[in-house]
Amino acid sequence: MSKFPIKKIRTIALVGQAGAGKTSLAEALLARAGSIPAAGSTDKGTTVCDYTPLEKTHKHSFKLAVASFEVKDAAPQGGTSAAAEGGHRVHLLDTPGLPDFLGHALPALAAVETAAIVINAQNGLEMMTGRFMQWAAKRGLDRLIVVNKIDAENVDLEGLLETIRETFGKECLPLNLPAGKASKVSDCFFAPSGEADFSSVEAAHKNLVEQVVEVDEKLMETYLEKGEVEPDALHEPLERAMREGHLIPVVFTSARTGAGVAELLDVIVKLLPNPAEGNPPVYVNEPAGGAATEVTTIPDPTKHALAHVFKVEIDPYIGRLAVFRVHQGRITPGSQLYVGENRKPIKAGHLYVLKGKTQVEVPEAVPGDICAIAKIDEIQFNHVLHDSAGDAHIHARPLDLPNSVFGLAVTPKKRGDEQKVSDVLHKLMAEDPCFKLEHNAQANETVMRGLGEMHLRTMLEKMSTQYKLDLDSKPPAIPFRETIAARAEGHSRHKKQTGGAGQFGEVFLKVEPLPRGKGFEFVDSVKGGAIPNQFIPSVEKGVRSVLDTGYVAGFPIQDVRVIVYDGKSHPVDSKDVAFMSAGRKAFLDALGKARPIVLEPIVNVEIVAPEEKMGDIAGELSGHRGQIKGSDAPRPGQVQITAQAPLSELEHFPARLKSITAGHGSYTLEFSHYDPAPPLLQQRLVAAHKPALGAED
């Protein structure tokens, strides 16, 4: 039997902009709960959650960290203690706030009931604040806004609360208010009393109650009759209001002074949902050859087990650590589990809860628990662990992760390190779903792709410091593509006689452009067996052999439909190789008549910079074929610019932005779409390519 029943488990992710104080807040909560002797410091590199050498060096979170702790029994003291009968287990997730590390932050939303969006009281609403509010809402999570650093100088907490309500809705209501010049907070929910630095505790309490009772008709009647409702009667409707997005509580804290930290712990334990109360996660059942159906998990330990792997960490000494959230059933050490669609089961071995890098062995994991299994190489990010072979086709709902468009071409500095480098790069890929590796055959380059320059530079630094491997890097070749702008027909007859059995195959086909982003389609429209069925795959193989090598400039071909409609065969001489060759040449023949063009990648650019630099930045983008799509002012003195630009024009943009803003600007890139390249660029790319068409004749 688990020490903590499901109703005593809480899961919460601290998310938000870098610099909001999420890691320090996690420290303050751990210290308040008695899980650590005293709160550590990010400046000194002594925090539980920032435990890697790189994080300690840079004083920034670069990966998702789990800090599970117990909130022990305590005698109630006016509603300000974390009293809870039997104690609670809190699984706290600390996430990086830099946009470059969203591959570590976003998976946290798949593992929790509540997303706590942490805001720096000095900076107010920032770029990542609104994004995480949207992402959490999209996943159906309860949302809690934590205004941190309330003790900082020159902060307008009243104005910030009003801005929060204007931006995210009137459902954002304070559970407490700063008091004593932000040295403490006054409770507005459990035991409303005392003064506040602004507004009124009584008015805030009334607004909360009125917002909550709107989701419960009987409670509404009681409130209208008596004018008040006991706080204990508000728990269930409050949780429902949060679950439905009808209420987004706001709390105030200072991780540095401890103001509001005890009250936040109270909120986590007393008001936030347990795994049986939050919106249940949706899995997808995708049987082979069947239609996909949604599967809603049931947080019942007696059901068959379903758990989702949302984090993989590979330590040079410990090995692979797979961190997962149990949504259904029970997992114990020695449990026989299946990994995704693998038919061969694995044994769980030891089962751990995590507190940063510290692993604490536990006897079992029930729904709501976040645990880890070590040294099982089969487990990958986003895998589903299950104990029934019949659940092999059940997958987690996909995470909406950003596309990795920023690239660096890398080569080992030391000859002979190629295999070591490849092995380590694949380890890094296993840890970070937004870190990609690709080989550009045209340019003969190994390309790392990530979410930004800092993302990839951090990877290179990790390889150097942790794995003792140094790489040279340079901007990669731009991933241009080719397509066609018109319909056309192609034909080829492959006939070869060498004295014995010959080779014969003839193919007629059509090509037509597809909408942008649709890839490639091969359609078999042959009638009457003009091309025997067994040779159709060979025709397709020949056609596909052209896709990677391109036609006019050597870039992969996309957004093309090929329709094979006629041909001829010979009862003796027709062979796979003949139809493969005929298919390839017929496709090349059609491409030459279909107005082939080169496409260039267009990316969305989001820039945050000092307001007075907007004109310079706009000019820089316009001078490189960029288009400004809009701008906003996330806070006074700053501007947020959204634009689109060709990726090929942005090679020197990071350095130019740094120069224009004196290092105070930041940006993110996200792939948008492909567009035809300008004529001059097309001509240059075609001229630089050595056409292989002549070799086909």
Query: How does pLDDT run across 166-205, given as a tens digit for each residue?
Result: 999 999 999 999 999 999 999 998 888 889 999 999 999 9
Q: SS3 of 649, please? A: helix
Are 189 and 333 found together in one domain? no
Integer Cα distance of 62 and 681 in angstroms: 38
Are 50 and 136 found together in one domain? yes
Are 98 and 71 found together in one domain? yes
Are 217 and 319 found together in one domain? no
Q: How far is CA 330 from CA 62, 279, 337, 348, 387, in A?
A: 31, 20, 11, 12, 9
Residue with token string 């596909």: 544
Q: Provide the sign of the torsion angle of the four alpha carbons 524, 530, 535, 539, taken in this order.
A: negative
Q: Residue 116 in contact with residue 12, Cβ under 8 Å?
A: yes
Q: Higher-confidence residue: 635 or 430?
A: 430
DSSP one-letter string for 584-602: HHHHHHHHHHS-EEEEEEE
547 burial (CB, 10 Å; 0-12 / 13-18 / 19+) is middle
Integer Cα distance of 383 and 402 in angstroms: 19
Q: 3-state secondary structure string, 167-217? A: HHCCCEEECEEEECCCCEEEECCCCCCCCCCCCCHHHHHHHHHHHHHCCCH
Integer Cα distance of 452 and 311 in angstroms: 21
Assigned domain for 429 exists: yes
**Domain end call among 576, 594, 612:** 594
Provide the CATH number for the domain around residue 448.
3.30.70.870
Count of positions (residues) in the chain: 697
Q: Which pLDDT score is estimated for 74?
A: 60
* pLDDT tens, position by position, 571-627: 888 889 999 999 999 999 999 999 999 999 999 999 988 889 999 999 999 999 999
**Domain end call among 239, 270, 301:** 270
Are 453 and 492 found together in one domain? no
Assigned domain for 65 exists: yes
How many structural domains is the chain composed of?
5
Provide the CATH number for the domain around residue 68.
3.40.50.300
Assigned domain for 646 exists: yes
**Average pLDDT of span 107-111:** 95
* Residue 479 in this model has a pLDDT that exceeds 70: yes
- Residue 685 sits at φ, ψ, to 5 deg, of -70, -40
Are 57 and 131 found together in one domain? yes
- Indicate the pLDDT class of residue 95, thresholds 50, 70 and 90: very high
Integer Cα distance of 429 and 447 in angstroms: 13
Q: Which pLDDT score is estimated for 80?
A: 43
Are 392 and 431 found together in one domain? no
The tokens for 662 are 């004196």
Assigned domain for 689 exists: no
Residue with token string 């208010």: 177
* pLDDT tens, position by position, 263-281: 999 999 999 999 999 888 8
* Residue 513 in this model has a pLDDT that exceeds 50: yes
Q: Higher-confidence residue: 2 or 510?
A: 510
Label residue 352 left, alpha or beta by phi (over 0 means left) and psi (-120 to 50 means alpha).
Answer: beta
Nearest to 149 by CA among 230, 42, 293: 42
Q: Which pLDDT score is estimated for 84?
A: 38
Assigned domain for 147 exists: yes
Q: Which pLDDT score is estimated for 644?
A: 95
**Domain end call among 546, 573, 594:** 594
Are 54 and 130 found together in one domain? yes
Q: Which pLDDT score is estimated for 83?
A: 39
Q: Which pLDDT score is estimated for 475?
A: 86
Provide the CATH number for the domain around residue 313.
2.40.30.10
Q: SS3 of 411, please? A: strand
Q: How far is CA 78 from CA 190, 192, 435, in A?
A: 8, 10, 49
Q: Higher-confidence residue: 293 or 172?
A: 172
**Average pLDDT of span 417-431:** 93
Assigned domain for 226 exists: yes
**Mean pLDDT value across the chain:** 90
Are 425 and 383 found together in one domain? no
Instruction: Report, in this order, helix, strand and coil percent for the chain, each rounded to 5.
Output: 30, 30, 40
Are 132 and 31 found together in one domain? yes
The tokens for 94 are 């600390």
Terminal Cα distance for the chain, rounded: 75
The tokens for 264 are 């936040």
Are 587 and 605 found together in one domain? no
Q: Higher-confidence residue: 358 or 79?
A: 358
**Average pLDDT of span 53-73:** 92
Integer Cα distance of 396 and 384 in angstroms: 7
* Residue 341 in this model has a pLDDT that exceeds 90: no
Are 568 and 519 found together in one domain? yes
* pLDDT tens, position by position, 221-279: 888 888 778 777 888 888 899 999 999 999 999 999 999 999 999 999 999 999 999 88
* Residue 34 in this model has a pLDDT that exceeds 90: yes
Integer Cα distance of 257 and 329 in angstroms: 41
- Domain ranges, residue 532: 482-594
Assigned domain for 310 exists: yes
Provide the CATH number for the domain around residue 639.
3.30.70.240
Assigned domain for 1 exists: no
Residue with token string 């590979």: 314
